[in-house]
Structure formats: structure tokens, C-alpha cells
Amino acid sequence: MDACKRPGNLKRFLAYLKPYRGWLILSTVVGVVKYNLPVVFPWILKDVIDILVTSSPSNPRWSFDQLMGVAVLVFAAYALITSLRTHLADRLALRMTFDIRKDLFQHIQKLPLDFYHARQTGAISSRLISDVSQAQNFFGLAGTNFFMDFTSLLTISCVVFYLNWKLAVLTYSTLPIYLFLQRRLSRRMRLTSREARRRMEILEGGIHESIAGISEIKSFTHEREQSRRFADRCWSFLQTAFENVRTHSISLGTTALLTKVPAVLVIWIGGHFVLQGQLTVGALMAFYAYLEMIYNPLTRLSELNIQLANSRAAIDRLFEFFDLGTEAGSDGQGPQLLVRAGGIRYQGVVFGYLPGQPALKGINVEIEPGRRVALVGASGAGKSTLVNLLVRFHDPWEGAITIDGQDIREVNLRSLRSQVAFVQQDPVLFSGSVEDNIRVGKVDADREEIVRAAELANALEFIRELPDGFQTEIGERGVKLSGGQKQRIAIARAFLKEAPILVLDESTSSLDLPSEKLVHEALNRLARGRTTIIIAHRLSTVAGADWIFVLESGCLAQQGTHEALIRATEGPYWKLCFEQMQAFAIPAAGENTHSISVPYGRHSLVPERVASKNMTYNATSPSSPSCG
């Protein structure tokens, strides 16, 4: 069902008031007093005018000075009650907003990665910030004022019918037309408000992308195109905003017509009643004052209509996210994963990102505990997908993945991810200090543990050279650090996490040689004693792995040690080596190119006697690997 038509969303939203029922009742009682207290003043005005005009008050028990003194006291009390009511209502609305925003953020964190891949970052943050604030108005302003105005109208209606029932009937003669038109217009405003919020979400998403990618925009001199796109998005939002303005103006115009015409008729006909002696001048003036008190709430309700529509649209959009299914196992249910040795097995795993297009085709892989294995293959072969399945960023379509014999789909998701440490190719650092970013690996780590992790990651030396050491602010995504420094912060996190399984997405290809050496030393230290999976982009980084799995088009094409695979000439691994050697070819005097081998520690990527074939090898399309 379309969220716009889902009747339960408002009820679910108002359920957030339940923990604050006491505050709500108190706020409501004070609000009722605030909105009904001014009803006393026109009645005082009636007697005051009668005294001034006829010198004979309708209530002889009160003198002129006494009446004015009561009026002063009424408005002094009104000022105090208004202040108290504002404090109570705003405090309650802010607490409710806090709870909704907190729950929504926790829910969003449990959503699968597909959710994030399908949406702009700015669009998601728009729901958390803008939509929650807009939804708050339903209670903080529009919703509660609607109720208070209704109680005020009820009280005033009783008073005006008591004063003169004929004039009262005349006053309310246009009310059915008003209610009918407002009902029609409010539905229209709700639909346009929802569309306006959707277009604003697109606008905010574009702003976030432009700011995040400002370096690329400037380097490609793309500012003019970005400005054009921004203007187009602004114009799209403006069209819906104009539609809201048109509806709102119609609402205000009809309200003005239907409320001011009865006021003129009341003075006209009421004047005849005064001339005929059926009504005093004071009573007529009091009736006219009550008319203003009747029509002011009606006018406010008309003005609040668009705010109510905006709030309802925002509430529907919030619960669109709340209604999305979370990752299986993210509810904390299921047994804890117990890693005794760290053995991993993929059994007939099939998975894809699009229906009918598998990215992995019947993968069978077994990784022995404590071994260092490498995943090798061309871009798109399925290397990253294979490790993403290990931590259940996605679940396989077919087959199973086990750790020490335990199916990862049957264990607690949090416990699974706590046993795997990731060091990514492009590590994500957060705004905050160096210490805060290392502490991501273990929230309750003490200072000594953090310093030790930094030392093991070869990061301690450069951290101490920073202006404020561990307390140095590194900026959004670590913009104040170099690539090598970011990598070592990420490695320090992994040391702090102390997970028995380690995933290394090759991260040194863009570093200078000194930084690369420090990162390699730290990674080798980190991998010691852990089951380690290396996602290799450069073959020179995997020559020292205990075992290598070669992926090709989503299938397991080869596996074995580096020495064994490189001797299998014409095989996928040998061809990958040759292609990378060609990329490293250095022009020599009098020759076109010559091949070189790329060292990795004590290893050479290609043995000399195999490399000699490189000069005569003519690259061909690899044979189709066997799947399953």
C-alpha cells in the first residue's frame, strides 16, 4: 500500500507520546486554560461598555474599576500560562523528536547494503533531519493548536448562544461550506506537500554529492554543469512549492470570505436588535469580540492546514523507511558464533546483484585455519563479492558459508561481524580525533591499548608528530592525513579489534615506497596467527600467500601455491602475471619493450625460466573456467 494512503502511520507516530503521557496531560490541561481564559474578557467588555454608554451596568455588583482590575488580572494570568504552556509543549515535542530520530537511525543502520546503494547519502540524511523536524510540527504546533482551538470554539459557542441565539445561528451559517472546502483543499495540499518533500530530498542529495566531490568538480572544471543541475533541481522543487502556495492562497481567500461576511451581517442585524431594545450596546460589542475569537481560530486552522499537510507527508515518508526489512539476524537473535580455529568453507555458493545474472557461480572454497590465502582475478571476477558474503553484507542465493562448521546465516549477525576485521583499500575515517578513529575497533579500549595498537600498526611515530598527538582532529574522512597514514590508522583499528579472521583489500597500490613498506610490515604483523584473506589487485602482493584462489567470471578457475600456479603456463594465473608484467614493461635502448619481474619480499612474481616465454606469448582469450 502507498504510504500516502496508509492510515496507521499517524497512529504509529503518535505512539511515541506514550512514554510522556503525564507531560501530555499536563500540557493539554494548561493549553485548554490558555486558550479559554481570553473568553472572559469580552464578557467584562460588555459590562464596561454598558456602564460607559448608559451609566447602568447589567451587573450592578461590579464597579467600573473592579471590572478593569479583573481584566488586568486575567491577562497577567494569561501571560504566565502562555509561558508555561510553551515550555511544556516544546519540551515534549523535542523529546518525541529525539526518540523518533534515534529509532530511525538505529533502524537505518540495520538495513541491507542494497538500501544504501539505491539512494543518495543526502536523501537518507534528509529523512533523518528535515522530515523528522517537519513531522514534529504535527504535535509541536499544528496538531496541539488544532485541539486547543477546538476547545476554545466550543466554549465561545456556548457563550454566544447564551447572549443571542439568533445572531449565533447567523454566525455559524457559513461554517459547513468552510469545513467542506478545507477538507478538499487539505487532501490536495497533502499530496503536493509529499511531492515537494520528495523533490527536496533529491535536491539535498545532489548538494551532498557536489560537496563531497568538490575536488573532482574543480579538477574537471565542472562547476558550470553542476550549477546547471542544481538550478534544475531547485526549479523542479519550486514548481511543487508554487502549487502549495496556490492551494494555500485559495484556502486563505475562502476563509476570509466565509468569516468576514457573517461579521458584517451580525453588526447589521444586531444593530437593529439594539435599536429595538432587544440587545444592549455592550452585549453587541461583546458578541462582535467573540466573533473575532471564533474566526481567528478558523483562520489559524486554515493557515495550519498546509503545516498539517506537510507534517502528514513527512510522517508517511518516515515510516516508509521504518517499514523496510532489516538484515536477517540484525535483531540480536540466534546463537553466538564461536570461532575455535578460523576455518572457512564456501559450499556451492551462487550469488548475484541482479536477478538472473549471478556474479558467483557455484563457488567451492575451503580455507584452512590460520592460513594466509589470496583471491586473484580481473576486475569484476567476484573477489570482493566473495568476502562481502562472509560478513553477510549479502546472503547467497544458493549454497552455504560456514566458519568452523557453523552456518553464518544461523548465528547472531553482530557476533559474526565481531569475529572478522576488515582493512579496506580506501579506509573510511570519521570526523574526530586520531584516538576516536582507532577506538572504532574497540569502543571500550583504554589509552594503553590504543597506543599499543598504533605501535603495532607502525602509526605511533607519525601520530606523536601531529600537533595534538592522539587528540589531533583529522577532519571529515581523514582529509588532514596522507594515504599511508590513513591505512595505518585502519590497521591499528584491526589490531584493537583482535578478530581471529582478517580480510585485507590490497591497499598499497597508491602509496609511495616508504609508506608502502611501513604498511606491508604492519599488515604482515597483523596477519600473524589469523586466518587471512587477501583481495589482490597486484599479483606482487600475493606471492607469499600460503594458497591462492584464482577467480574468473564468477567461477573458481585455479587454486594452488604461487610457485605451482605460475608453472601452469597458459593458465589464468600465468596470464594475469603476464598482463601485469606487460604493464611494468620498461622501454630499452634499441628495443620496443622488455619484461621484468616484480619482487615481493624474497619471492619473484615470475620465475626466470618461465618469464623467458613472455617475449613470445601472444595473449588470447582465456578458456572458460569450470564452475562448481
Give the end of a domain, one of 255, 287, 322: 322
Predicted local distance difference test score (pLDDT) of residue 329: 66
Contact partners, residue 488, CB within 8 Å, separation at least 6? 454, 457, 458, 459, 462, 518, 519, 522
Q: Is residue 628 part of a domain?
A: no
The DSSP result for 203-269, as a single string, is HHHHHHHHHHTHHHHHHTT-HHHHHHHHHHHHHHHHHHHHHHHHHHHHHHHHHHHHHHHHHHHHHHH
Q: Using the predicted structure, report yes or no on whether residue 601 has a pLDDT greater than 50.
A: no
Predicted local distance difference test score (pLDDT) of residue 508: 57
Give the end of a domain, one of 304, 322, 340: 322
Q: Is residue 346 part of a domain?
A: no
The DSSP result for 153-188, as a single string, is HHHHHHHHHHH-HHHHHHHTTTHHHHHHHHHHHHHH
Q: Is residue 28 part of a domain?
A: yes
Q: Is residue 586 part of a domain?
A: yes
Q: Using the predicted structure, report yes or no on whether residue 84 has a pLDDT greater than 70.
A: yes
Q: Using the predicted structure, report yes or no on whether residue 165 has a pLDDT greater than 70.
A: yes
Q: Is residue 423 part of a domain?
A: no
Q: Is residue 32 part of a domain?
A: yes
CATH code for the domain of 24: 1.20.1560.10
Predicted local distance difference test score (pLDDT) of residue 7: 56
Predicted local distance difference test score (pLDDT) of residue 363: 93
Highest mean predicted confidence (pLDDT) among 13-17, 88-92, 157-161, 401-405? 401-405
Percent of the chain with pLDDT strictly greater than 90: 14
Predicted local distance difference test score (pLDDT) of residue 621: 33
- Stated as kind and residue range, the H or E segment containing 107 is helix 64-109
Range from 167-181, 201-215, 263-277, 575-589 carrying the lowest mean pLDDT:
575-589
Q: Is residue 553 part of a domain?
A: no
Predicted local distance difference test score (pLDDT) of residue 55: 61
Q: Using the predicted structure, report yes or no on whether residue 523 has a pLDDT greater than 90.
A: no
Query: Of the candidates 566, 567, 575, which has an alpha carbon nearest to the alpha carbon of residue 542?
Result: 566
**pLDDT, greater one: 373 or 263:** 373
Range from 339-348, 372-381, 420-429 carrying the lowest mean pLDDT:
420-429
- Per-residue confidence at 216, pLDDT binned at 50, 70, 90? low
Q: Locate 135 and state its grid cell.
A: 513531522
What domain range is 178 assigned to? 10-322
Predicted local distance difference test score (pLDDT) of residue 428: 81
Q: Using the predicted structure, report yes or no on whether residue 543 has a pLDDT greater than 80.
A: no
pLDDT digits (tens, 9 = 90+) for 218-236: 656 677 878 888 888 888 8
Q: Is residue 338 part of a domain?
A: no
Q: Locate 238 and state its grid cell.
A: 519550486
Average pLDDT over residues 607-619: 39
Number of domains in the chain: 2
Predicted local distance difference test score (pLDDT) of residue 596: 34
The neighbouring-strand residues paired with 504 are 423, 534
- Cβ atoms of 576 and 584 within 8 Å: the answer is no
Highest mean predicted confidence (pLDDT) among 29-38, 364-373, 589-598? 364-373
Highest mean predicted confidence (pLDDT) among 246-260, 262-276, 382-396, 605-619? 382-396
Q: Using the predicted structure, report yes or no on whether residue 585 has a pLDDT greater than 90.
A: no
Predicted local distance difference test score (pLDDT) of residue 589: 44
pTM above 0.85, yes or no: no
- Stated as kind and residue range, the H or E segment containing 559 is strand 555-560
Q: Please state, in angstroms and rounded to a whole number, the distance separating the CA atoms of residues 137 and 146.
A: 12
Give the end of a domain, one of 288, 322, 356: 322
